[in-house]
Structures are given as structure tokens and as C-alpha cells.
Amino acid sequence: MATTSSNPFSFALRGLLDRESGDCGSYYSIPALGDQRIDKLPYTIRVLLESAVRNCDEFQITKDDVEKIIGWEKTSLEQVEIPFKPSRVILQDFTGVPVLVDFASMRDAVSELGGDPDKINPMVPADLVIDHSVTANVVRSDNSVQANMELEFERNNERFTFLKWGSSAFIICLSYLRVLVNLEYLARVVLNRNGLYYPDSVLGTDSHTTMVNGLGVVGWGVGGIDAEAAMLGQPLSMVLPGVVGFKLHGTLRNGVTATDLVLTVTQMLRKHGVVGKFVEFYGRGMEKLALADRATIANMAPEYGATVGFFPVDNITLEYLKMTGREDKTVSTIEAYLRANKMFVDYNEPTVEPMYLSYLELDLRDVEPCISGPKRPHDRVTLKEMKADWHACLENKVGFKGYAIPKDLQDRVVKFDFHGQTAELKHGSVVIAAITSCTNTSNPTVMISSGLVTKKAYELGLEVKPWIKTSLAPGSGVVTKYLLRSGLLLYLSDLGFSLVGYGCTTCIGNSGDLDPIVADAVTANDIIAAAVLSGNRNFEGRIHPLTQANYLASSPLVVVYALAGTVDINFEEEPIGTGKGNRPVFLRDIWPSTEEVSDIVHSNVLAEMFKSTYAAITKGNPMWNQLVVPSADVYSWDPNSTYISEPPFFKGMTMDPPGPRSIKDAYCLLSFGDCVTTDHISPAGSIHKDSPAAKYLVGHGVKPKDFNSYGSRRGNYEVMMRGNLW
């Protein structure tokens, strides 16, 4: 940050007054620049402007750079470059989340409800009785979380040791280093550095970084080189982005979920074309859009192609900050700063509508229940059209919406014996149904909806076929607490959606193997098997090698499709299944109303849950705390490690850099068409047994069961470059 004496905009430094605490520090005021063009700037561009003003030193960031940003309305059309210094950098570790997952969270929740936490012993299967309201519910623990966590530590010991070493070795260089992030815990919205206030902004080495856009934080995913440069104080050189304004009005209809909304928004923005642009949401419809719903939309920014999907801070944001454990004084100061710097939206006050490069508009009342697939997140299909669309996919030539299955084979049913039970599969049969750990499973509304669907289905006598692999991986430990408190975790577990952990699961290909009997039936008969998941991505080959059809859906619809057992169904006309007394059960019989969901959310999702969960976030768990790590300042590379290897560009490095070198005779390695994803560039999912990476690992003594994933082995370039070949 430029010193006051060297900053040509030091005249804009102002004292910050909080109506509750009075004088609380200083800030760089962009209104103090006295330029009327600022009033028309999109909120995201105001954040870029503030950063440039605050860090202006006439070397890395100049007055000309500030002028380019102020003149955004014209300069954004000219592809001008600007420097940007984010407030923070997040370095993602692929499966680091389980490091801080402990049974303590569940035990605390059980104790709060009057249950016996000792009966949830992670080492011994047991029934746990919870006194909930008048009735007694039994929550069954199948030890999935503990078993998965032990496996994580067994497989990833080298990586976790490296992380723990780094958390202490870099403490001199870095003011703070954590090993876990969640939206409700991580985002600061406004930062305070020695009494100087400024907007929170972040560059992260993960595409899910955009989740924080829902909380009014400008941030997006970048590559490791950009992130490392930012950590060393270098500004990111970026093209001043165009900003697309997306106006929302109205409210969602009864029974429509945030996932239905985000899939609709994704399709609209993908069609509009927002690659390389910022998207900024505005309009009176924002008043009815919960923070968790906003985060769900923001998290999908990579899928609709935008750099960010931003929601400016308003009163809903402030209430969310309070609910998730921020002190009232902190929230008051955040509001004071943003209002003073014209970065706060108050729908009860007259405001100047920002100027945007282009505009989109959506009436929330027009959103319909839907899913997306079978191969791309923006190929949205309404539920009422799903059956017809599926049959069209079977018929169509091979492509994003086609499998070219001959007409006489489209309805073929394959029967087989599944551990003594007659089972059958056909094209479109669901073999994986996963409530995964993206923002959908940090969203109380959709998670409570999922619980209510399973409760109603259970009471009516519906079951999930045992050959369908089901799982529940919440996006936050808080979810476990409110599902326990509401008594709904019982019903999710009874229908097969047992808690398996809190990290990346099916969405990234970490669902694990199918039962060998099911796998053999799929491969031997060329079945187009389906997976339904509440994640962000469903690109071909990403979810599971044996599921050629993959659909994104809301968490409650994941449950519904698991109950139906197929995507080849019209829920308006066909029953999900047959319940007690041979009675057909339809979707309308088990789908909860918006009012039902809202009542349970308000009575069971409590601020104290967020506070208690994240109060323990830096304590780790016994397995993490017991890791023995070296204390040296320089990491000792193990030449035999297949997880962590010394980067080749470190070898032979001296304290005196050789200086810039010219690049000569460079040529294009590959030229791609549409829909090339990060999976093609740097795969993250499972390592196939016949891949070059697998052969490398076997050659180094790694057994196939211990291959783990590409994401977990990103610390070894030998594995990753072979993943690109596959």
C-alpha cells in the first residue's frame, strides 16, 4: 500500500464516523475525488477504483490508471489494462476441508438438543436418541464421516503435513494463514488495517472463489502464478472489464428453489455472452433474495462464463453478517464505511442507477423448477419437459445433447441380481444421487427442503433402491446442526443420504466406485446411466466414468430422482413410486411449500450455530493436531513422494535472478473449440486405471486403491502432466 506521503490522492483521506461508536479510523474517499462520473460507475468498478486510489504510488499504480477506471464508461470499450491489488489471496487445497472436520460439531449439536453425545462414538456404530419437541427421534450414525476422515489422513498424510508445516513456516511472511474457508466465516466485506478501512477483495486459486460475490466481496479465481505474485505485492494486470447489469424483480413462486433460479440465470447469461465480464445484480427483486440464494448464483459465475457475479451490500447482507457471528459494532462500522464511500445499496433511499455495458432482466415469478444436463451446466430443462428432452437426447447424434442410441434399444431393460435382490437398469437409470458440498448445501432453504422431502417420502413408504449410491456432504458444519435440531437428518439418513463429510465429493469425481455388480451391469450392456447431484458442474467424464448422463439439480430434487430411480419421468403425470397400501406417490405429495420451509428455517437455523461452529475452526481435530511436522524454515523435499515434489523451476535457483529472457520460436501447442473446461487443462477427478498417470503411480509402488485424485496430487507435476495426456 502506498504511503500517505507518496500517494497523490492523500487529499482524499477522510476520518470514518460510525453513528454508534463515533470516530473509528480513516479511509480513502472516492466521492472526495469530486468526479461526477463516479456516481454512475458499477459497484464492482468502484471497488477497483478504491484499490487504485489507495495504492497509487506513481510506480506500480499511477494517476493515469485511476483515470482509466473513472472513465470506465468509455475505456471499458477500448480493452485498456489496469493494475489491481486485491485485499487478500486465498490458496486452495483440494481436499483440505476434512482437516478441520470433527465429530465435535455433531456432539455439540446433540448435547444442545438433550441427547447423549457419547452415543455418537465415531468408532462404534450406535443409535442416538434426541429429545426433540414432544417426540423422540433416533439419529443413526453409520460412521461415514469418521471413516472418510481416517481415509483422508491415511491417503493425504504428506499433503496435510506440508500444509501444517506451511502454516507455521510462513507466519513471519504472512499476517494470517488458515486451512479452511467457508463463506459465512471467511468474508470480511470491509477490512481494517491499522485503522485504515477498505473493501474486502480477493483472488483465489479456485473457481469457487466467486461465492463471496454474494456477500458483496469482489473476488474471482486465478492461476497460481497470479496468486503468488499478488502475495508478493505485485498488482494483477487485467483488462478493465465490461459490466453486465442483471435486473431482478418480483419473488420466487411457491416451491421454486434457489437452484432453479441459478440454473435459469446461468442459461440466460451463457446465451447473452459474459466471458471476461463482470455481472452485477440489482433491482427491487434483491430485497426478497436471501444471502444464501445470492451466494448460490455467485458461485456459478464460472459456469455462466463471467469473472464475477456480484451482489452489492445491502441490509440483507448486514443481517447475514450478524447471524453468522459478526459483532454488532463490526457490522455497524461496515455499513458506515460503505455508505460513506457510496458502495451500499438502500432500497428505501433514492439512488442513481449505475451505467452498464449491457442489460438483462428477469422476473423471479417466471422461474420454473428445472435441472441442467446431461453434459453441461447451462443446458437447462424444465421438469415438465424433462422426459421428452431425455428421449430426444437418446435419439440425437452424439454431442452435448445426444447419445445416438438406436430406436430399438432405447427402452431396453437389463435385469440382474443385486446381492440376492432382483434389480434392473435402463438408459436413464440413476446410479448416483449426491447432495454435494457446493453452495447448494450451505443454503438452509434447499437443505431444509431436502429434509422435508425425505420425511414426507419416508412417512408415505417410499424407498431408494439399494443399488443407487447416495450421499450427503454439506457445504458447512452448521448444516449438520440445523438438520439435527429440526429432526430432519434422521429422514435423510433413513433414505440413504448419510453424512459422508464436508469436502468436495461427487461434483469433482470423488463419489468412489459403484458396487461392482452395478458397474458390470452398466458396462456390459452399454447403459447410459445417470447421476443427479446438487453441484455446479456436470461436464462429460467429470462425475464418474460410468455415468454418461449427469444432471445438476436442487438438493430436494436429488432426493426425488433417487426415489424415482430414473431421469426418464414426467413428474406432473407419473408417480415417483408406490408407497404404503400400494398407493402411487406423486411429486406434489412430498414437495414442501415455501411457508413450510421458511417456518423450519426460522426456528432451527440459529446464529449461535454459526458462532459455535467457527469458534473452534482454528483448533483442528485430534488427527490434525497430532501430525508431526518439521520446524525448518525451508521445506525438505522427499524425492520418493508421489504427492509433493520439488517444482523443477526451483532446482538450480540462485538468490540472484538471471533477469528477463526473450521467448523465441514459440508456437501454439493446442487450439480448442467451445466448452473446454479446467478439467481439460488440469484434471481434478479420479485417476483412471489405464491412464499414463496411473502407470506412473504403479511404477512408484502405489496401489490402484491408493491412486486418490488428480486434485489431491497437484503437488506433483509428474502426475499432473500425465493427467493432461489422458
Nearest to 528 by CA among 436, 431, 422: 431
- CA within 13 Å, CB half, 392: 10
Asked whether the beta carbons of 443 and 479 are under 8 A apart, the reply is no
Is the predicted pLDDT of residue 248 greater than 60, yes or no? yes
Q: What is the pLDDT of residues 624-633, one digit of tens each?
A: 778 888 778 7
DSSP string, 90-141: E---TT-GGGG--HHHHHHHHHHTT--GGGG-TTS-EEEEEEETTEEEEEEE
Nearest to 437 by CA among 474, 389, 393: 474
Which pLDDT score, from 0 to 100, does residue 130 have?
Answer: 29
Which pLDDT score, from 0 to 100, does residue 620 have?
Answer: 60
Considering only residues 676 and 213, tell me which one the structure prediction assigns the higher pLDDT.
Answer: 213
Query: Taking CA 303 as the corner, what is the angle to CA 301 and CA 308, rounded to the nearest 5 degrees?
Result: 15
Which pLDDT score, from 0 to 100, does residue 652 have?
Answer: 81
- Residue 109 and residue 484: Cα distance in Å, rounded? 7
Which pLDDT score, from 0 to 100, does residue 183 have?
Answer: 59
Among 131-145, 189-203, 351-365, 709-723, the minimum mean pLDDT is found in 131-145
Is the predicted pLDDT of residue 105 greater than 60, yes or no? no
Q: Cell numbers 496430487 correspond to what residue? A: 713
Q: Give me the residues paired with residue 423 across strands.
A: 416
Which pLDDT score, from 0 to 100, does residue 629 have?
Answer: 81
Q: What is the pLDDT of residues 40-73, one digit of tens each?
A: 999 999 999 999 999 999 999 999 999 999 999 9
Mean pLDDT comparison of 107-116, 298-307, 357-366, highest-scoring range: 357-366
Query: Taking CA 184 as the corner, what is the angle to CA 180 and CA 189, rounded to the nearest 5 degrees?
Result: 105
Nearest to 213 by CA among 276, 285, 302: 302
Asked whether the beta carbons of 428 and 566 are under 8 A apart, the reply is yes
Which pLDDT score, from 0 to 100, does residue 699 have?
Answer: 95
Mean pLDDT of 104-108: 47
Q: What percent of the chain has pLDDT over 70?
A: 87
Mean pLDDT of 255-262: 93
What residue type is assigned to position 109 of the chain? A
Among 111-115, 301-305, 439-443, the minimum mean pLDDT is found in 111-115
Asked whether the beta carbons of 684 and 690 are under 8 A apart, the reply is no
Mean pLDDT comparison of 20-29, 35-44, 431-440, highest-scoring range: 35-44
Confidence class for position 684, pLDDT limits 50, 70, 90: confident
pTM attached to this predicted model: 0.85
Is the predicted pLDDT of residue 221 greater than 70, yes or no? yes
Q: How far is CA 124 from the centre of its chain?
A: 32
Neighbour-count burial of 456, counting CB atoms closer than 10 A to its CB (0-12 exposed, 13-18 middle, 19+ buried): middle
- Residue 412 and residue 429: Cα distance in Å, rounded? 11
Peptide bond into 31 cis (omega under 30): no
Is the predicted pLDDT of residue 169 greater than 70, yes or no? no
Asked whether the beta carbons of 35 and 49 are under 8 A apart, the reply is no
Which pLDDT score, from 0 to 100, does residue 145 have?
Answer: 63
Which pLDDT score, from 0 to 100, does residue 401 have?
Answer: 95
Q: What is the pLDDT of residues 486-537, one digit of tens each?
A: 999 999 999 999 888 777 778 777 788 899 999 999 999 999 999 999 988 8
- Residue 580 and residue 578: Cα distance in Å, rounded? 7
Q: What is the pLDDT of residues 555-578, one digit of tens each?
A: 999 999 999 999 999 999 999 999
Asked whether the beta carbons of 513 and 431 are under 8 A apart, the reply is no
Query: Taking CA 158 as the corner, what is the angle to CA 153 and CA 164, rounded to the nearest 5 degrees?
Result: 85
- Residue 668 and residue 651: Cα distance in Å, rounded? 27
What residue type is assigned to position 458 of the chain? Y
Q: How far is CA 59 from the centre of its chain?
A: 37
Q: What is the pLDDT of residues 309-343, one digit of tens each?
A: 999 999 999 999 998 888 899 999 999 999 999 99
Phi, psi angle pair for 690, to nearest 5°: -105, 10
Mean pLDDT of 538-565: 93
- Residue 423 and residue 413: Cα distance in Å, rounded? 10
Q: What is the pLDDT of residues 135-163, one digit of tens each?
A: 223 333 445 766 767 777 777 888 888 87
Asked whether the beta carbons of 74 and 370 are under 8 A apart, the reply is no
Per-chain mean pLDDT for the chain = 85
Contacts of 293 (CB under 8 A, 6+ apart): 258, 261, 443, 445
For strand 370-372 and strand 414-418, is the pairing parallel, antiparallel, or unpaired? unpaired
Among 190-194, 468-472, 645-649, the minimum mean pLDDT is found in 645-649
Considering only residues 300 and 128, tell me which one the structure prediction assigns the higher pLDDT.
Answer: 300
- Residue 22 and residue 378: Cα distance in Å, rounded? 48
3-state secondary structure of 248: strand
Considering only residues 119 and 64, tell me which one the structure prediction assigns the higher pLDDT.
Answer: 64
What letter does residue 591 receive in the DSSP assignment? P
DSSP string, 666-697: ---S----S---HHHHS--SB--TTSHHHHHH
Phi, psi angle pair for 469, to nearest 5°: -85, 115
